[in-house]
Structure 1
Amino acid sequence: MDLFEFSQGSLPLLVSMPHSGTHIPPELAARMTEEGLAVPDTDWHIPRLYDFLGDLDVSVIRATHSRYVADLNRAPDGAALYAGADNTELCPISTFGRRPIYRDGQAPAEAEVAQRRSDYWQPYHDRIAAALATMKERHGIALLWDAHSIRSEVPRFFEGRLPDLNLGTAEGAAAAPDLLGILTAVAREAEAIGYSHAANGRFKGGYITRQYGKPDAGIHAVQLELSWITYMDEDPPFAFREDLAAKVRPVLSGLVQTMLAWAEMEVDL
């Protein structure tokens, strides 16, 4: 199986979906627990939720393999995203619910983690880097939207319910402040239909946002962490809810199109 799917668009925006994959190679699956094989921490149904992207002529990269094989949104050296907080590894060994992913004695050792980084993590990042470089050369600007989702309550990482729409730009280091400002305005407008939001709150953007967002060089990256409760059932079998998705999808489309409109104005200036 290919490590990711990539579609090329003509506009200067790449949408990344690093945690939407569920595939686990058989040789790894044989070492995993039932909890691990269920891949509960997947960013479920993200490609279906973002199905409007096909009408926008943007580029999309979507991982096919589970984050349990290699987490594409973690630093290659395994450095923690949030100092002093609980973090999961480049090759996770426990679920968000603190359940073991591997059977006793079967967790990957350092050499295996390094091999997985080379085999699974690196190709995805090489493709992101190449796509952004091409956009920047062609348009003078490049945008990256990192699309994620998560259960609305995950006690391991935060107390209480997570806001529905969580925008992150690494505290402003990954994207221009005015871009985050207009995106936050779109999220704020969504309060009228029942969605809460935060900007650079608990989720400030993972490795992808922090690594590739270089606003001084004309590359702007934003992560959206969306609560599952806005579009799906949060318990197994994690069913997609079109009745819910139909309500939140226009908000997501509005965010993406606002980002594109901002880039067009920046280039025109």
Structure 2
Amino acid sequence: MTDTIFDLVQGDGPLVISMPHCGTALSPGLAERLTEEALTLRDTDWHIPRLYGFASGLGATLLSARYSRYVVDLNRASTGESLYPGQATTGLCPDVLFDGTPLYREGQAPDAAEVAQRVEGYWRPYHDALAAELARVKARHGFALLYDAHSIRSQVPRLFEGRLPDLNLGTAHGTSADPGLIARVVTAMESAVAAEGMTCVTNGRFVGGHITRAYGQPGHGVHAIQMELAQDRYMDEEAPPFAYRPDRASRLQRVLTAVLDAFAGWQPAQG
């Protein structure tokens, strides 16, 4: 089963790109339990593998989930604690959509035993693969660079006020990567968005989820950042089929290329 949980393309550079929320598959029997709105898979990080397809040219390793975050959220701790205590969010096995409406038909939400099964069957294989790839590239290069790739509708009032900036960089408040590396990426991002007439923020509403916080250990040679993108910059975000828009995506890809060039081109100080 594990070989169907994710797609993995190994690269020869220090960069690993994780795409935990791009999957659209549902576990057996789940579709019949979901509301009509949930079945649109609205909260998916749509088209992220396509958007970052250029990264293979940087020698990046690409790890992308096949299953929906509605099965289990790979960017949450397996124990289920909130990433943002006191703020609206969704859980390890969500029971509401981002806008707060029910995900399940009445009485169909998973119990604790089912949640545990989903963790073992879907969450753990992805994280085992991610940990293995970070260890592989670190053994080869002496360090590893983890870029956790996400996107979300540009306006979700339950989660944040107003319109989200186009690029939202998270570094766990500066703890998940080397300070010099963070500064290098921020400078590249700010310059690129200015050139394209876009907006950005660092450690705003999204400071990095479980993957960034758990794997980003700069003292041990693993440097992690999260990027959350406003979906209207590369796709139709309002209604199915949530189409990819190459005309919009090409501009955003120029910005992302600058960001990833800065990230992947970094070298730790010697000595």
Q: Same fold (TM over 0.5)?
A: yes
Q: Who is 1:152 aligned against?
A: 154
Q: Who is 1:219 aligned against?
A: 222
| Among 57, 60, 65, the residue aligned to 1:58 | 60
Contact 1:163 1:197 in 2 (8 A): yes
Q: Who is 1:126 aligned against?
A: 128
Q: Partners in 2 of 1:55 and 1:201 — Cα distance?
A: 30
Cα offset for 1:98? 1.4
Contact 1:144 1:222 in 2 (8 A): yes
Q: Partners in 1 of 2:103 and 2:37 — Cα distance?
A: 6
CA deviations on 1:84-126 (whole Å, 9 max, x unpaired) are: 1112110011111212111100000111101101100000001
Instruction: Give ranges in structure 2 of 5+ residues lacking alignment.
Output: none
SS in structure 2 opposite 1:203? coil
Aligned residue type for 2:213: R
Cα offset for 1:267? 6.2
Aligned residue type for 2:210: Y
Deviates more, 1:151-160 or 1:48-57: 48-57
Task: Give the ranges of 4+ consecutive aligned residues of structure 1 lying more than 6 Å apart after TM superposition.
Answer: none
Aligned residue type for 1:240: Y
Q: Who is 1:252 aligned against?
A: 256
Contact 1:141 1:267 in 2 (8 A): no
Contact 2:58 2:264 in 1 (8 A): no
Q: Partners in 2 of 1:261 and 1:95 — Cα distance?
A: 38
Asked if 1:196 corresponds to 2:199, the answer is: yes
Q: Partners in 2 of 1:267 and 1:183 — Cα distance?
A: 16
Aligned residue type for 2:140: R
Cα offset for 1:192? 2.8
Cα offset for 1:191? 1.7
Q: Who is 1:231 aligned against?
A: 234
Q: Who is 2:13 aligned against?
A: 11
Instruction: Give ranges in structure 1 of 5+ residues lacking alignment.
Output: none
Q: Percent identity?
A: 53
Aligned residue type for 1:180: I
Aligned residues: 267
SS in structure 2 opposite 1:34? coil
Structural mapping, 1:1-269, within 5 Å: 2-189=4-191, 190-237=193-240, 238-263=242-267, 266=268
CA deviations on 1:145-189 (whole Å, 9 max, x unpaired) are: 000001111111111111111000101111111111111111211
SS in structure 1 opposite 2:248? helix
Cα offset for 1:229? 1.4
SS in structure 1 opposite 2:94? coil
Aligned residue type for 2:10: Q
Deviates more, 1:11-20 or 1:253-262: 253-262
SS in structure 1 opposite 2:89? coil
Cα offset for 1:26? 3.5
SS in structure 2 opposite 1:144? strand
Q: Partners in 1 of 2:188 and 2:154 — Cα distance?
A: 21
Deviates more, 1:167-176 or 1:22-31: 22-31
Contact 2:189 2:258 in 1 (8 A): no
Q: Partners in 1 of 2:183 and 2:196 — Cα distance?
A: 20
Aligned residue type for 1:138: R
SS in structure 1 opposite 2:151? strand
Contact 1:41 1:150 in 2 (8 A): yes
Q: Partners in 2 of 1:260 and 1:25 — Cα distance?
A: 35
Alignment RMSD, CA only?
A: 1.2
Contact 1:7 1:59 in 2 (8 A): yes
Q: Partners in 1 of 2:93 and 2:167 — Cα distance?
A: 27
